[in-house]
Amino acid sequence: KNEVEQSPQNLTAQEGEFITINCSYSVGISALHWLQQHPGGGIVSLFMLSSGKKKHGRLIATINIQEKHSSLHITASHPRDSAVYICAAYNYGGSQGNLIFGKGTKLSVKP
Amino acid sequence: DAGVTQSPTHLIKTRGQQVTLRCSPKSGHDTVSWYQQALGQGPQFIFQYYEEEERQRGNFPDRFSGHQFPNYSSELNVNALLLGDSALYLCASSSGQPNTEAFFGQGTRLTVV
């Protein structure tokens, strides 16, 4: 079982829909990172958070440390949001170089 | 600030060959981590370099080796390439302090034929 689990693995939405991607982790973490990866590979950082909630434009990330769970929400989704969204847990001092990655959620937003 | 830069962007090698991938960290960062990402999977940790030494290593064979230079740039070397080494190789840099944000390069797409 992965230490960081994401759901769903694949998600198809219509433009304008509200989208939620979930991330659960089983390790002790110091922070959690939400990343976006477009075809071609490059990874862009969306949020890094250790508590509460962060918002940037149409993106909102929340984390509940007690429940070991984080969510990424996209409001008013757009086809340009189509990408793979990855959550990564900061496990400083752990055996995996600080970051433990989920497998990603592939989002496709249809016009 | 150019951020994290990796070279080359794409590479095709033959089984048994050796390859060297390069990474320049974001300005001010002294820690470089390398990851392998197979198609449809999340990145897997290969190793991390800090102060020119390998600080941590993931579950990768000795064919995977690395180096960090005094200017904090880093190389990933893979010997005796296998078909299964075909993947996107990502470099991430950070400051090495707890909870500092990691920044990623665009990756090098390696294809072994």
Strand partners for A106: A10, A84
Q: Which residues of B fall within a CB distance of 8 Å from A33? A: 101-102
Q: Do A90 and B99 touch (CB under 8 A)?
A: yes
Specify whether the CB–CB gap between A50 and A8 falls below 8 A.
no
Give the pLDDT mean for A30-34: 88
Q: Are strands A10-14 and A105-110 parallel, antiparallel or unpaired?
A: parallel
Q: Do A30 and B98 touch (CB under 8 A)?
A: yes
Q: Do B41 and A103 touch (CB under 8 A)?
A: yes
Which of B45, B93, B97 best tests the A interface by mutation, with the highest count of A CBs <10 A?
A: B45
User: What are the pLDDT digits (tens) for A51-73?
Assistant: 999 999 999 999 998 899 999 99
Q: Which band of pLDDT confidence, cut at 50, 70 and 90, is reported for residue A26?
A: confident
User: What are the pLDDT digits (tens) for B47-96?
Assistant: 999 989 998 899 999 999 999 999 999 999 999 999 999 999 999 998 86
Specify whether the CB–CB gap between A109 and A13 falls below 8 A.
yes
Alpha-carbon span A49 to B97, nearest angstrom:
16
Using a pLDDT cut of 90, give the percent of chain B over it. 79
pLDDT at A95: 53
Q: Do A98 and B101 touch (CB under 8 A)?
A: no
pLDDT at B1: 63
Q: Is the pLDDT of residue A13 over 90?
A: yes
pLDDT at A71: 98
Q: Which residues of B fall within a CB distance of 8 Å from A44? A: 104
State the average pLDDT for chain A: 90
Alpha-carbon span A96 to A9, nearest angstrom:
23
Q: Which band of pLDDT confidence, cut at 50, 70 and 90, is reported for residue A109?
A: very high
Q: How far is B15 from chain A (nearest CA, A)?
A: 23
pLDDT at A97: 61
Contacts 24+ apart (CB under 8 A), A16-20: A16/A76, A16/A77, A17/A77, A17/A109, A18/A73, A18/A74, A18/A75, A18/A76, A18/A77, A19/A73, A19/A74, A19/A77, A19/A81, A19/A107, A19/A109, A20/A71, A20/A72, A20/A73
pLDDT at A91: 75
Using a pLDDT cut of 70, give the percent of chain A over it. 93
- Tokens 């694949």 sit on residue: A10
Alpha-carbon span A27 to A68, nearest angstrom:
8
Specify whether the CB–CB gap between A3 and A25 falls below 8 A.
yes
Strand partners for A2: none
